[in-house]
Amino acid sequence: MAEFRLPANSRVVKGVTYAAPPGTRALRTVRIYRFDPDSGANPRLDTFELDARSCGPMVLDVLIQIKATVDSSLTFRRSCREGICGSCAMNINGVNRLACTTATRDLAGEIRIYPLPALPVVKDLVADLTNFYAQYASVKPWLQTRTPVPPDRERLQSKEEQERIDRPAACILCACCSTACPSYWWNSERFLGPAALLAAYRWIIDSRDEASGERLDELEDPFRLYRCHTIMNCTDVCPKDLNPARAIAEIKKMLLERHS
């Protein structure tokens, strides 16, 4: 008989509640996924009651406040605080987002924070991105050429050629898109996922690159590319307003045109 429940040691249990001081007026409840693999204990959901006036405006500010004043063991990634590095990607109220660009005022009710879905958890809100980065590296995200570099200038592009790659090149590798994709959840070992395929598309259409044919050959595979079923979750959650689904569709179109 099929088993549709999580294994017993993976089920999230009720955690610790840190109550706000009596008389707190601007009460905000934050529930955070906690997991320490070294402890051998189940994941748990800790509850933090905070005075919203004591925190900054973003979810990342809330996490920093909790770590600084309530529980120093809380673990999460963060760096730029400007939506540029992608380090603080996590699942907030059921949607993959960057904690540094998500305002608490835009979240109704309590705030629930989990690590990015469908990835192994290193600790608390830190997901293991090893496979994600390996897939990105597999598309060879660098310029490949055969002709020698001009001796007196760089490889030039027209304004229109540069504009074609401008948006795909803005990906910050936060993994929000890939970890929102059901096809990636079920086939992450073989399906490259939206982020890696967007990177592949960026180089395929680069006018300076001379390996487009080889890049397309590498992607013509039942799993690496064609596990995408155009669900569009990737485009919906991208914090940079990119369109990985369209890029994947364009790659499929190029492959079809090669055989027509």
Domain end call among 127, 145, 176: 127
Domain at 87, CATH number? 3.10.20.30
- 167-198 pLDDT, tens digit each: 999 999 999 999 999 999 999 999 999 999 99
- 42 and 137 in a single domain? The answer is no
The answer to whether residues 209 and 252 belong to one domain is yes
DSSP calls for 129-141:
-HHHHHHHHHT--
pLDDT at 172: 98
**Is residue 45 domain-resident?**
yes
Mean pLDDT, range 202-206, rounded to an integer: 98
Residue 165 has pLDDT above 60, yes or no: yes
Q: End of a domain among 111, 127, 143? A: 127
Q: So what's the pLDDT on residue 231?
A: 95
State residue 228's pLDDT score: 96
pLDDT of residue 3: 61
The label of the residue with tokens 């909790």 reads 66
> H-type helices in the chain, by residue range?
59-69, 130-138, 159-166, 182-187, 193-204, 212-219, 233-237, 244-258
Can you tell me the distance from the alpha carbon of 12 to that of 259, in angstroms, rounded to the nearest whole number? 49
Instruction: Give the mean model confidence (pLDDT) for residues 23-27.
Output: 85
Mean pLDDT in residue range 23-50: 94
**Which CATH number do you get for residue 169?**
1.10.1060.10
46 vs 21: CA distance, rounded Å: 17
Q: For position 26, what pLDDT does the model report? A: 85
Residue 1 inside a domain? The answer is no
Residue 56 lies in a domain: yes
pTM score, whole prediction = 0.93
Smallest Cα–Cα separation from 63: which of 123, 104, 94?
A: 104
Mean of per-residue pLDDT scores for the chain: 95
Please tell me the predicted confidence (pLDDT) of residue 234: 98
Q: 89 with 136, same domain?
A: no
pLDDT at 2: 53
13 membership: H or E segment, kind and range: strand 13-18
Domain count for the chain: 2
User: Is there a domain that residue 103 lies in?
Assistant: yes
What whole-number distance in Å separates Cα of residue 172 and Cα of residue 177? 11
3-class secondary-structure state, position 229:
coil
